[in-house]
Structure 1
Amino acid sequence: MAPLSNPPAPGIFQPRPVRVSQLPHYRNRQQNESTFDRTLGTVQLIWHAICDTFYDFASMSKIHGMYYLQRQVTSGFARLLWIAIIVGFFAFGTVLIYLLWQKFIDSPTRMTIASEMKIVQVPFPGITLCHPQSVVDYKAERFVEKIKLPLGATKESVLKTLPSLGYFTEHQWTFPRPQDLRMIDQVLQLNNYTIELAIDELGMICEDFILVCYWAGKKFPCFAKHAFLGWIGSTSHYGACCSFNYHPNVRGSKEPFVANTYGMHGGLSVIGTGYPQASDGKSGALYSEGFMVGYERRLIIPVHGANVISLSNKLMIHHPHDFAVEASPLTLIRLRKETFVNVLPTDSRCSEQVLALPQNQRDCIVGSDFNPPIANYRQPACTLQCLRNEVHRKCGCHPFHLPLPTDRGPGQRVRNCTVYDSMCFVENYYMFKRLKCNCLPSCSDVTYKTASIVSDFSAYNFSINPFYKETNLSDFEFIFHIFMSNQVVAANRRIVVVSWISLLSNLGGAFSLCLGISVLSLFEVLFFTAFRLRKMYYQRKHRKEQQIKLVAPFARLQRF
C-alpha cells in the first residue's frame, strides 16, 4: 500500500524542484513582474493624483458648473449631465473664439463715411474718348492709293484686309485669316509703317471728331498746348483714343488739376461729329461676312465685309494719373444725342492705426510696401503691368495700345508686335480677360463713379447758352457734358474695428458668457496643472512608501 501524502498546511513554505537550466527564466520572470508592478503603481499614483487635483480644483474654482462635479455633491447620471453641459459650453466658447480670431485676421478694418470734402480737394477726373471705328473706309481708300503694294496684292484685297489692324483691341470679333495678316504685315513693312502710324492714318484721330470745347461756360481751344485744358492722343483697350486731363507719367507728388465749379455747365462740354464716317454707308468697327445696321433708320444693308457696327463713342472716366483700363466707368456717347455725365468722386484714406497693420490685414498698399519704396502706387497701373507682362510672356511682343514699361533696361526690351502677332491675341483673348492680378487698392486714393442722362437736342431751341450756337447740331453730331453736381464729395475713412485690446475683450467675453471664465481662472488652471498636480503626486507617493515600510516587517514575521 502506497503511503498517503498529507496536503501542506497553509502558510508553510513548500520547496519545488527546479532544474538548473530553468533558473535564468525564473529570474527574468520575477524581474518583469516587479517592473510591471512598479509601472502599474506609478500609473495608479498619477491617476489618483489627477483625480485629487481635479476634485480640489472643483471645490475651489469659480467656473460655472464645477461645483456640481465635487465628490459629495453629485454622482451617477447627474454628474454625467453636468459634465456634458460643461463640455458643451466649453466647445461653444472655443468656436466663438475661433470666429473672433478669424474676424481679427481677415477683416480687422472697415470703411466708414467720416465727413465730406470740398470739390477743390479732389482732382477733376481724366477723360478718355474712343471712337468706335478702328479703320474708316474713306481713309482706307485714300491710303491704298498712295502706298506700294507687295507682289501679288491688289488694292481691293488690301482694302478688304486693312481692318485686321483692329485685332489687338476690342474692335474685332471674327477669327483672322493668317494670309490676310501676312499681307498687311508686308504692306506696312514695304511702306515703313508701324501699326501705330497706320492706325493714326486709317482711323479717327482727335481732330477729326472733336469740334468745340467749353470749360465752365468759357470756350477754349480743344487741342491747345495747355497743362490741363486740352485733348491729346492716347490709347486704351479700344485702340486709338483721345484723352483730357490725362497725365500718366507723373512722378513724385505733383498735384493734379482740380475744379472749383460745379453743376451741369461747370465742367467740360464738348461738341463732336460723326461726319463723314457715319454716312459713308460702309464704315464699321467690326468686319466680317454679314450686314451693317444703318444709323437711326435701322436699315439692314447687305455689305460684303461689314458686320454690325457700333455708332457710340466710348467715354471712360478715370484718375488723371491712370491709364484707362476696363474697370473704368464707361458711358456711351451717341450721335444726335446730348449726354450729361455726372461724376461722383470718392476720397478714401486710412487711419494711422490701419497703416500700422500688416499689408495682408489692411487690404491696401502704400508706397513704402515696395522695395525700394515708390512715390505713387496706383491699382490700375498694377493691373496694367500684370496684363502687359502676361502679353509679353504669352505672345513675346508689345502691342501698340498698351503703354511701354518705364522700369526696364536696354537689355530687357520686348519687340513691337506685328500684325501677324494679333493671332496670339485672338487665340488667348479669354485667357487675358480671366487673368487674375494680385493688385490691392491704394490706401489713399480717389475713385470715380458716373451717372448719365441722355436726351435729344432739345436744349438747342430753349437755352440762351452760347454753347448751343456753335453748330447747327446736325444728325451726325453729339454733345456731352462732364461735371460734378455737388460742392462736396464723400470722404471715406478706413478705421480699425478689431484691435488687440478689443480682441482680448471679445475673447474674455466669449468664455465669460459660456463658463464664467476670466483671465484669473486661466491662471488657476495653470497653477493646478503645473504645481498642485505635482504636489498631489508626491504626497501620494510618500504615503505609499510609508505604508510599505510599516507593512513589510509584519509580513516577514507572518511568513516566519
Structure 2
Amino acid sequence: MLTRTKSYEIDMDVDSETRALELPSSRPCRNRMRALRKGFLQAYHTYSEHTSIHGIRYIAEHRPLKERIFWAIALIASVYYCFILINSAYTKWNETPVIVSFAEKSTPVWNIPFPAITICSETKRILKMDGPTFADLYSQMKEDSKEGRVFKPDNISDMEIEEFRTLLHVCNTQIIDPNMPLLPGEDISYYDVLDRMLPPFERYFFYCRWLSRFNECDKFFKKTLTEEGICYTFNGLHSTDIYREDTYQFQRDAKNKVDDLDGKNTSALYPPWSLETGYAPNSDVETYPARVLSAGARSGIFMALQTFKKEVDYACRGPVQGFKVLLHAPDDVPQVSKQFVRIPMAKEVLIAVKPNMITTSEGIAEYHPLRRQCFLSHERTLRFFKVYTQSNCQLECLANFTLAKCGCVKFSMPRTLDMPVCGEDKIYCYDRAERKLLVREFHRLRDLNAADGVQRGEEMACNCMPACTSLVYNTEISQANFDLEEMLIADGDTEFLREYPGSQMSRLSIYFKESQFITSKRSELYGVTDFLANCGGIFGLFIGFSLLSLVEVLYHFTLRFCWNVKNFMKMEK
C-alpha cells in the first residue's frame, strides 16, 4: 500500500513538472486525455471487481504474472470454443429451421378429395378397313424425305393428312427424325383433330359406378388435353379453375363449363376448395371436387374399360396396348407420360389408394421460402396457372424453355393465344427440350451446392420448389384375369359378343385403403427462442455470461466511464 502511494506521489510530481513546461494552449487537451485514461482505468478496475464473468477478475488483480497469463489463456480458450459452438447453433438455425414430422392426430379420408383420375387409351383413332395405317404413311414420309420429294400420298384426303400430322405428335415412333420435314398444308388445330379421331366415349367406358350412381360415366368424366392426346379425367378441377383467363386452355373450355349431373356449373354450386384451406366448414357430402366418406371398394369408383382388337394400331403406340391411368391431386394438370398405372386388357385391376399429405404450421410462414424449402400459395405466382403446385410449375417452366429453344410450344403445353404451336418439323426439338432443361437444372444445382454460403435451391431457373401443402396419392395394385368371353359363353349369353365383336374388356376399381391416415406436418424445428436459449446456455457454461452481464459491461464503460471522466476533469481544474 505504501509502495502504491509513493508511486502515485512520484507521478504527481512528474505531472506537475510536465505541466509547468507545457504551453498554456496545450494544457486543456492534455488534461482531457489524462482524464479519459484515468476514467477508463478506474471503470475497468471497478468492473473487474464486480463482474460475473469468470476469469476477468483474476487478470485485473495484482497477482503474479504467471497466474494472470494462465487466466488470460483460459479465458481466451473459453471464448474461442464458445463462439465455435454458437456458430454451429446459428448454422443449424439458419439452414434447417423446419422439420417434417407426423401430425398428432389422424385425418379422415372425407377431409381430402378423392383422387383425380386421368385415363388415356392407347387407341388414338378407329382404323378403317380400307384406309392407310399410320405405319404406311410414316414409311412413305421417310422415303419421300430421303429422296428429297414432297410428301404427297395418293388417294388420301386432306382430312386423313391432318390426322396423320396430328398422330406424329402423339405416336411413339422408335427414332424421331431430327430432319423431319414440315408437311404441306395449312395450320391445323391439333385439339380439334384429336377430338375428331377420338372413338365414342361409350366404347371406352362401358360401365361405371360412383356414389351409387350407375351408367352415367359421361357425366363424371371430362376431356383433358395431355401430351399423349385427349384423355378423360374424373374429379379434376375444371380448366377454368386451373388456368388463367388469357390462356388457350381457359378460352377453349370456358364455354363448356357444365359438369354437374343437372347441367349446372359445378364450381358455382359448391363452396370453393383449395389444398391449403380444405373444404368449407359448411360443405355437404357432395362437394367439388368430390370426396368419399369411408374406405373400401364400395365407396370408390368402379368401371369397365373396353377396347377392340381391330382398332389397335401397333405402329403408333407400340406392342403394349390397353389404358394408362394416372392418379393426381385435383388441382394438378395431368402429365400422363411421367408416371402412370398400366391397365392391360382382360384383367381386373384393383388400386388401393394411400394418401400422403403434408400440411404446414403457422410459424413457418415467417421464414423465407429458401430456408423452409417450400412455397405458400401466395408466394409463387405462375404465368399460366392460378394454382401453384410443383407439377404445374415444372410444366410451365418446360413450356417457357421450349418456346425459347424452338420458337414454339407443343400443342398440349400451357400457352397464350399468341404463342405459336410447333409443327411436324419441330417434333425433334421439343422432344429434346425436356432433357436439355433437366441437364441445365442439374448443372445449376450442382454448382450452387458446391459454392460456399449459397442455400440449396437459390437462383434456380425454374424455381419449382414443392408447395408447403401438398397431396400425393400412393397406390397398392393387385390384378387377376378377367375372361369375359368365356363367362358369357358359359352363361349362354352370345348377344353381347355379336353386338361387340372383338371386344377386349378390363375392370378397374379405385378406392381408399383405410378410412383414416396420418398426415405429415411442416413445423418450426429451431426458432429464434431456441437459438437464443442455446446461445445463453453456451455462454453460461463457458464464461458465466448472461443478459445482465451485458448490462454490466454497458454500464461500466458508458455511464460509469463518463462519470469518472467528469470527476477527473473537475480535479484537474
In the superposition, the TM-score normalised over structure 1's length comes to 0.66
Query: Using a 3 Å threshold, how does the CA distance of structure 1 residues 74 and 45 change in structure 2: closer, same or farther?
Result: farther
Give the equivalent residue in structure 1 for 2:4: none
Q: Check conservation: 1:55, 1:70, Cα contact below 8 A.
A: yes
Give how far 1:515 is off. 1.9
Alignment deviations for residues 465-495 of structure 1 (CA, whole Å, 9 cap, x no partner): x9xx998999944332211011123344433
2:374 & 2:151 partners in 1: Cα distance?
A: 57
Q: Check conservation: 2:117, 2:235, Cα contact below 8 A.
A: yes
1:507 & 1:135 partners in 2: Cα distance?
A: 69
1:142 & 1:169 partners in 2: Cα distance?
A: 17
Aligned length: 464
Match status 1:236 vs 2:269: no
Aligned mate of 1:414, from 388, 409, 419? 419
- 1:339-350 equivalences in 2 (<5 Å): 339-350=349-360
Q: Check conservation: 2:116, 2:327, Cα contact below 8 A.
A: yes
Q: Which amino acid aligns with 1:316?
A: L
Q: Check conservation: 2:301, 2:509, Cα contact below 8 A.
A: yes
Q: Which amino acid aligns with 1:385?
A: E
Give the equivalent residue in structure 2 for 1:429: 434
Match status 1:182 vs 2:210: no
Give how far 1:444 is off. 4.5
Match status 1:323 vs 2:350: no
Aligned mate of 1:382, from 393, 406, 414? 393
- Name stretches of at least 5 consecutive residues in structure 1 with no aligned partner: 1-30, 287-308, 406-411, 547-560
2:315 & 2:130 partners in 1: Cα distance?
A: 10
Q: Which amino acid aligns with 2:399?
A: R
Q: Which amino acid aligns with 2:52?
A: K
Alignment deviations for residues 239-284 of structure 1 (CA, whole Å, 9 cap, x no partner): 432222222435482531111242134312233245316866x434
Match status 1:212 vs 2:207: yes
Q: Check conservation: 2:309, 2:503, Cα contact below 8 A.
A: no
Give the equivalent residue in structure 2 for 1:408: none
Give the equivalent residue in structure 2 for 1:488: 516
Q: Check conservation: 1:120, 1:258, Cα contact below 8 A.
A: yes
SS at match of 1:387: helix
Query: Using a 3 Å threshold, how does the CA distance of structure 1 residues 345 and 155 change in structure 2: closer, same or farther?
Result: farther
Query: Using a 3 Å threshold, how does the CA distance of structure 1 residues 113 and 92 change in structure 2: closer, same or farther?
Result: same
1:121 & 1:357 partners in 2: Cα distance?
A: 28
Aligned mate of 1:257, from 281, 286, 290? 290
Quick check: 417-426 or 356-365, which moved more?
A: 356-365
Alignment RMSD, CA only? 4.9
Query: Using a 3 Å threshold, how does the CA distance of structure 1 residues 327 and 490 change in structure 2: closer, same or farther?
Result: farther
Aligned mate of 1:397, from 399, 408, 412? 408
Give the equivalent residue in structure 2 for 1:13: none
In the superposition, the TM-score normalised over structure 2's length comes to 0.65
Q: Check conservation: 1:341, 1:452, Cα contact below 8 A.
A: yes
SS at match of 2:408: coil
Query: Using a 3 Å threshold, how does the CA distance of structure 1 residues 328 and 250 change in structure 2: closer, same or farther?
Result: farther
Give the equivalent residue in structure 2 for 1:450: 475
Match status 1:221 vs 2:216: yes
Quick check: 101-110 or 362-371, which moved more?
A: 362-371
Q: Check conservation: 1:353, 1:495, Cα contact below 8 A.
A: yes
2:397 & 2:369 partners in 1: Cα distance?
A: 19
Q: Check conservation: 2:51, 2:549, Cα contact below 8 A.
A: yes
Give the equivalent residue in structure 2 for 1:117: 107
Q: Check conservation: 2:331, 2:387, Cα contact below 8 A.
A: no
SS at match of 2:299: coil
1:418 & 1:269 partners in 2: Cα distance?
A: 39
Q: Check conservation: 2:308, 2:504, Cα contact below 8 A.
A: yes
2:99 & 2:507 partners in 1: Cα distance?
A: 40
SS at match of 1:398: coil
Give how far 1:425 is off. 0.8
Q: Check conservation: 2:96, 2:371, Cα contact below 8 A.
A: yes
Q: Which amino acid aligns with 2:182?
A: R
Match status 1:59 vs 2:87: no
Give the equivalent residue in structure 1 for 2:315: 283
Query: Using a 3 Å threshold, how does the CA distance of structure 1 residues 156 and 335 change in structure 2: closer, same or farther?
Result: farther
Give the equivalent residue in structure 1 for 2:446: none
Largest Rg, 1 or 2: 1
- Name stretches of at least 5 consecutive residues in structure 2 with no aligned partner: 1-21, 142-148, 242-266, 274-287, 442-460
Quick check: 80-89 or 374-383, which moved more?
A: 374-383
Query: Using a 3 Å threshold, how does the CA distance of structure 1 residues 170 and 364 change in structure 2: closer, same or farther?
Result: farther
Q: Which amino acid aligns with 1:391?
A: T
Alignment deviations for residues 482-524 of structure 1 (CA, whole Å, 9 cap, x no partner): 1101112334443334444333323322322322211111122
1:139 & 1:207 partners in 2: Cα distance?
A: 21
Q: Check conservation: 1:139, 1:203, Cα contact below 8 A.
A: no
1:232 & 1:91 partners in 2: Cα distance?
A: 67
Give the equivalent residue in structure 1 for 2:557: 529
Q: Which amino acid aligns with 1:97?
A: I
SS at match of 2:65: coil
SS at match of 1:391: helix
SS at match of 1:428: helix
Query: Using a 3 Å threshold, how does the CA distance of structure 1 residues 214 and 533 change in structure 2: closer, same or farther?
Result: same
Alignment deviations for residues 267-318 of structure 1 (CA, whole Å, 9 cap, x no partner): 12233245316866x43425xxxxxxxxxxxxxxxxxxxxxx4446332111
Aligned mate of 2:236, from 235, 242, 246? 246
Give how far 1:119 is off. 1.8
Give how far 1:460 is off. 11
Q: Check conservation: 1:138, 1:277, Cα contact below 8 A.
A: no
2:486 & 2:35 partners in 1: Cα distance?
A: 104
